[in-house]
Structure 1
Amino acid sequence: MAVEIERKFLVNKVKWQEVIKPEGSYLRQGYLLTDPEKTIRVRVKKETGYLTIKGKNEGATRAEYEYPIPVKDAEELLDKFASACITKVRYEIPVDGKVWEVDEFSGENAGLILAEIELNAEEESFTLPDWVSEEVTHDKRYYNSQLSLLPYKDWQGK
């Protein structure tokens, strides 16, 4: 079984502005299914489409299956079948042998910046960059699937 072990953190916006970043990638993604037990996502990144199926989180671990699909198919699936879409620019920042994926959200989630790191084991140690702040791995509001349903701009008491 394909497995994803991922931890998620908020980003300190002031410190993040000081980081020298590589060119980011614009992503558009939407959900064909958002269920507490599973999600089915379609994503367009550059000239490639992806179909991703994720299982229920067990801690920071969940089943994940991702397949490239033609970008035209991905765009049609997003336009015709996705319940809601999110957009963001993703930066990949290497830190001590690991890659942090930092997402600057746009649209209805503008103002939110999240950093994710994929691990080989939940207890694996890693370096926390100084621009990373609070861990939100277990806060479902920060799941992309949830952000598509209840965007950041609509949260009370951010």
Structure 2
Amino acid sequence: MRKPLILFSLLVFALGTAIWSMVPSPTQTASAEQSLDLVEGKQQYQDYCASCHGANLEGQPDWRSVGPDGILPAPPHDETGHTWHHSDSALFDYTKLGGAEALARQGVDFQSGMPGFGDQLTDSEIRNILAFISSTWPDRQRDVQATRSSTERDQLDN
């Protein structure tokens, strides 16, 4: 009588473990691409970002040179800029919190002209904007940025 009970318990444990392993972690759920809306992202980009970063993602002139106010102009978000050098989470934080706050959380004191949009845009809208921006990059830039994001997620999971 004990042997069937032990076998049943092992079966329930194995089934529970298998089901639990299929539940996505919060980072997997948050980064699921199935919920991204590029059309909305493009419109939100035009509404919130284009005034500084350009209607065609071209950025401001002389974006690599500090202006008279001590702040760097808005960089391009196309392949000529450095946006694709950063992970998804870094871009998300920079957009939501603003440049100075996002960098301060990493221990970097930096005067940034990038405001935070966390009080104006939902997390989903920010992700849609970032998805739209990355959708305009050539394959090489998208691949580099995706690898950087994946590596960062893997490091956080370990």
Higher fraction of strand = 1
Fold shared per TM-score above 0.5: no
Category of TM-score, reference length = shorter chain: under 0.3
Decide which structure has the larger Cα Rg and report it. 2
Higher fraction of helix = 2
TM-score (normalised: structure 1): 0.20
TM-score (normalised: structure 2): 0.20
